[in-house]
Amino acid sequence: MRIVFFGPPGSGKGTYASRISKALKIPHVSTGDIFREEIAKKSALGKVVKAYLDKGKLVPDNIVIEVMKKRLRKHDCKNGCILDGFPRTIAQLKMLDEVAKPDLVINLNVPRNIIITRLSTRRTCKNCGEIYNLLFIKPKKEGICDKCGGKLYQRSDEKPNVIKKRLRVYEKQSKPLINYYRKKGIVKDVVCKKLETPPDTIVKKILRIIDKSL
Ligand code: AMP
């Protein structure tokens, strides 16, 4: 099954997608994670995409499409995958329809004030990528990852002015995609109105939706 996790930055896509990928034993494919890994490796691709991520702008379609065509062709995606942060534009959506049509789109609906609080208090492990939140998913030891002991940091695009830019980009370029998927009848909405709702509550909700759609 191919599932797209759709929603604004800070809606929890990455957190839920990673847990559901473990539960369903299919890969979690996040374009944001792919780009951040390339930036950390200082690869040629990483050098090109860094400026876009730092400013909260979308990476150009030709780059994203090439990266994703390659990723979706890999063996581990043959039984499905969870797509997080892709597609984000009409051109990407068209490419996905040609290569690997999605079966289900989970549309995360989270109010703007929650998103801004959530993103500005989010911390990520430099080593393993585990996500924490200083308000409700706190690490046991300040600044240190519970899982691997790595250092926690604030992503450069999780500073308030970049967050606002990313939200504007989402409203303009990505949100319209949901109408296309709605017409196909494959969208399921998941509403999260409270900041403190534990991730596991939402994960269970999503797993029930997936179960019913199988
Ligand atoms: P994310 O972790 O999904 O919020 O992505 C972080 C950043 O990576 C975004 O703000 C964009 O700069 C870039 N990015 C991730 N996915 C895409 C995509 N599908 N298309 C264009 N840019 C992307």
Q: What is the pLDDT along the chain (214 residues), one digit of tens a residue?
A: 999 999 999 899 998 999 999 999 999 999 999 999 999 999 999 999 999 999 999 999 999 999 999 999 999 999 899 999 999 999 999 999 999 999 999 999 999 889 999 899 999 999 998 889 998 889 999 999 999 999 999 988 898 889 999 999 999 999 999 999 999 999 999 998 888 788 899 999 999 999 998 7
Atom in ligand 1 nearest the alpha carbon of residue 56: 10
Q: What is the pLDDT of residue 156?
A: 86
Catalytic residue status for 182: no
Catalytic residue status for 166: yes
- Which among 213, 204, 10 has a CA at the least distance from the CA of 121? 10
- Which among 54, 138, 62, 58 has a CA at the least distance from the CA of 95? 62
> Which one of 2, 118, 123, 166 is the catalytic residue?
166
DSSP class of 131: E
* H or E element, residue 55: helix 44-55
pTM of the entire predicted model: 0.90
CA of 106 to the centre of ligand 1 (A): 18
